Amino acid sequence: MPDDQPLPLLDRLSALLGPRGILTDPADLEPHLADWRLLYRGRTPCVLRPANTAELAEAVKLCAAAGVPLVPQGGNTSMVGGGVPDEGGRQVVVSLARLNRVRDIDPLDMTMTAEAGVVLKAAQDVAAEAGCLFPLSLGAEGTATIGGVLSTNAGGNTTVRYGNARELMLGLEVVLPDGQIWNGLRRLRKDNTGYALRHLFVGAEGTLGFITAAVLRLYARPKESEVALCAMRDEETALALFRRFRDRDETAVRAFEYMSGTGVGFYARLIEGGSVPLSTPAEHYVLVDLASTRPDAGLRPLLEAVLEEALEAGEVLDAAIGESEAQRAAIWRIREEHPEAQKREGASVKNDVSVPVSRTPELIRRASEACRRLIPGVRPVPFGHMGDGNIHMNLQQPEGMDPAAFLARSHDIMETVNEIVRDLGGSFSAEHGIGRLKTDMMEGWRGGPELAVMQRIKRAIDPQGLMNPGKVLP
């Protein structure tokens, strides 16, 4: 090759990132190609693993010059196929895993500056060591990353108290699609300086650039907590219990989660050591988690008083209170293992939807009935964040039905649920995002000026359309 010829892109990326910074061996690529649900399986020529922001920026510049599309990937736990490449074989996966330092933690400012590849659980642990709380909590927290939770604006189990990932972010560092680094790592509680650019990247699912680090908001650690599992008479009384707690002490509720008897049954049958601390099976359950930073908050009397009232009213049928840290964790496990239990039971269709909190009972009831009419024998498995109006209105294949035949009905099922969600004033995507799974729904739900402005923003920030193509926008 003559000296003045530029090296092929792969060689230039290898020279830039070093042997640890680029994977090309098919066995090494494997974990980066398919999503957690195994809905999609793509191809990529290589996986880039930059060690820091500067390396990533240089790699992005090289790829932008060559017109190569990029797919950011954190823990690859997306429920909507957001972090995997398409089948075309041109999209290059960029893993943020090596950007995994907590750069700074300040217990007076109550902030932590963490890089994108820091695993959520590790961020929680670092905050705890400093005597603080990073409150974002979800079932995938042992794998999901700070970059991933911000890029999807993840919700999880404590949104009812602390908000979504967006509310826990004060500043960002971003590598833009042309390779420029924007340092917006300001740790200010107040900063009204024009358009709040940082909020554009939260929930953008990697379509506008790479989040490389973030200033996260910390909270005081609770000094007291209580967890109870309650068997409920029906969907309405489940919501009524939320209201009873909220009316007594709004600040006490840290999580309020709904589960169906079907989902709890899957847990008991399919998860190792999966026991349920209530003797009689019920059709509806809630998990209530109370926490307070006050040492004398009196959460136990509050919990007992509310449960007693609701038992007397015939709303709560039975309840178990966690008496130790181990028992509280065991109750939480019933809820957190729902996605895994559904996976083990066979094929399922997920509907991560939200409605106004007041309409959650109606959503569960109407969507379950409509899906049973659509596919006789289908097993509704609604569960999730009732206190936020976010129900995972999931459907499990009828017993004995061929999984492929069931999944072939996914579109019909999602349409059936979404029609009811729309009628109730809800959203077709509550916390998991759009990814690849729901792009074709964007026109119907967000079409008109809203989608047009989103497309203009995308063109302005990523004129070549190289950031995570095929995701979010139709």
Q: Which residues bind ligand FAD (CB under 6 A)?
A: 36, 71-79, 82-83, 96, 116, 138-140, 144-145, 147-149, 151-152, 154-156, 205-206, 210-211, 339, 431-432, 435, 468, 471
Q: Are 21 and 50 in contact (CB under 8 A)?
A: yes
Residue number with CB closer to ligand FAD (238 or 467): 467
Single-letter residue type at 68: V
Give the dihedral sign, CA 361/363/366/368.
negative
- The string of DSSP letters for 85-109 reads --TTS-PEEEE-TT---EEEEETTT
Classify burial at 38, counting beta carbons within 10 Å of its beta carbon; exposed 0-12, middle 13-18, buried 19 or more: exposed
Residue number with CB closer to ligand FAD (156 or 315): 156
Report the DSSP pairing between strands 111-115 and 132-133. unpaired
Give the whole-angstrom CA distance, residue 272 versus residue 45: 39
Residues 6+ apart with CB under 8 A from 323: none
Give the whole-angstrom CA distance, residue 399 versus residue 346: 9
Q: Which residues in this chain contact Zn ion in the complex, by CB under 5 A?
A: 384
Tokens 């009204």 correspond to 192
394 binds, among Zn ion, ligand 2HG, ligand FAD, none (CB under 5 to 8 A by kind): ligand 2HG
Residue number with CB closer to Zn ion (85 or 339): 339
Residue number with CB closer to ligand FAD (354 or 368): 354
- Give me 373's structure tokens: 């009419």
83 binds, among Zn ion, ligand FAD, ligand 2HG, none (CB under 5 to 8 A by kind): ligand FAD
Q: Are 286 and 292 in contact (CB under 8 A)?
A: no
338 binds, among ligand 2HG, Zn ion, ligand FAD, none (CB under 5 to 8 A by kind): ligand 2HG
Give the whole-angstrom CA distance, residue 359 versus residue 236: 9
Q: Which residue's CB comes closest to ligand FAD? A: 148
Min CB(6)–ligand 2HG separation in Å = 45
Min CB(157)–ligand 2HG separation in Å = 7
Q: Which residues in this chain contact ligand 2HG in the complex, by CB under 6 A?
A: 79, 139, 338-339, 350, 352, 384, 392, 394
Q: Which residues pair with 182 in a beta bridge?
A: 174
Min CB(188)–ligand 2HG separation in Å = 31
Min CB(413)–ligand FAD separation in Å = 20
Residue number with CB closer to ligand 2HG (157 or 212): 157
Min CB(297)–ligand FAD separation in Å = 26
Residue number with CB closer to Zn ion (82 or 384): 384
